[in-house]
Amino acid sequence: MRASMQTHLIDKIKNTADGRKADEILRNCVHCGFCNATCPTYQLTGDELDGPRGRIYLIKNMLETGEAGVSTRLHLDRCLTCLNCQTTCPSGVAYGQLLEIGRQQIEKDTTRKFSERVVRKLLRSVLPYKKRFNFLLYLGRSFKFLLPAESKRKIPGKKNTSKSSTSEPLHSRKMLLLEGCVQPGLSPETNQAARDVFNRLGITLIDASGAGCCGAVSHHLSATDEARRFVRNNIDAWWPFIEKGAEAIIVTASGCGLMVKEYADLMENDPAYAEKAKTVSALAKDPVEVLENENLSGFILNQEKEIVFHPPCTLQHGQKLAGRTEALLKSLGYELQPVQDSHLCCGSAGTYSILQADLSQQLLSNKLTHLLATKPAIIATANIGCQQHLQTGTDTPVVHWLELLK
């Protein structure tokens, strides 16, 4: 049996909450290297430092010496946070939590170039705010004709989505719905499909006024205090409905769903919100977690039956729901075509497609090659980021799987 990793964190770190958590995670690692076998960036670059094991050593060295350099930051930046390594790891190493601790520490200890700081600040200032994002999306669509072909593909056209009923009934069963930041502008039909599907099942989805961004953009860009402000805002907006008996919080974007499920960890040291955060995390559900337990016999197939399903990393590796959406779709009669390397990331990964464009495009090309191998009529997925990223590289429609339930 391999020995667990030995650690000697420096005093200023080891006695902090993050230091204690990092120390525990590091000691669980037996440096076996199984994680590298399923790491998308390691497969692309072949560099040990672009794999989970190498990044763990970089973080360990940083926490033990107090020294951090640009090279370490580069390799941590290149991580997709796809969590494929956590699925593979035989020792249960919480790599994702360790990575966030390492990234936060390196942001404190190093200074990025001015251009990098500006881009990251812009992402945090636009993406989490629906009105700001929709305004920029409107400008992009308005002047799309002036852009080069490659840029045009990254700006989706406007979609007209009308509610199926002007007065949706209020059912006795009620669940909250996280509206999201960019999804309403990019793909309004996703949440409308959710409302329609749940309504037919006798469940009203409530959009709580005041709820906003889940906080994932800020959190993954190491602006943790900012992320916690979004978390507190959402908990405050949802809490009155939770007290009135809301059964669940439905999150149709799997990336946001994973973030909400992690509220308990993020707020564990906040005395005012720790318990509420635990409740919210427990209530957070991907749609499949509810629908697989409901009677769907009244739903009919979309006209196109042959589809492929792209399981986002946040769904299969983060929320640990691998295979469940596929099983539900098969139970409804869909013919899911096989997809090679379905466990690997498409390269979207939140802001990754912007901040690490070259690696992202390589992953996108590989993913589309496998998804389109059987010439499917539709590509279905469960996350807005993946949906838009995949659509930039193909004319085959890419939709949220809820749209297949009619």
pLDDT digits over 273-301, tens only?
A: 999 999 999 999 999 999 999 999 888 77
Q: How far is CA 288 from the centre of its chain?
A: 16
Return the exposure string of 2-26: e unless at least 16 CB atoms fall within 10 Å of the residue's CB, then b.
eeebebebeeebbeeebbebbbebb
Cβ neighbours of residue 278 under 8 Å, at least 6 residues apart?
264
DSSP conformation class of 305: -
Q: pLDDT by residue (tens digit) across 30-50?
A: 989 999 999 999 999 999 999
Q: pLDDT by residue (tens digit) across 16-33?
A: 999 999 999 999 999 899
pLDDT at 2: 59
Q: If you average pLDDT over every residue of the chain, what do you get?
A: 92
Strand, coil or helix: 250: strand
Give the integer Cα–Cα distance in Å for 295 and 403: 17
Segments in the chain below pLDDT 70: 1-3, 159-168, 302-304
Q: How many CA atoms lie within 13 A of 226 on its CB side?
A: 16
Give the integer Cα–Cα distance in Å for 296 and 288: 12
Q: pLDDT by residue (tens digit) across 129-178?
A: 999 999 988 888 888 777 777 777 777 777 665 555 445 678 999 999 99
pLDDT at 54: 96
- Phi, psi of 205, rounded to the nearest 5 degrees: -95, 125
Give the integer Cα–Cα distance in Å for 223 and 26: 23
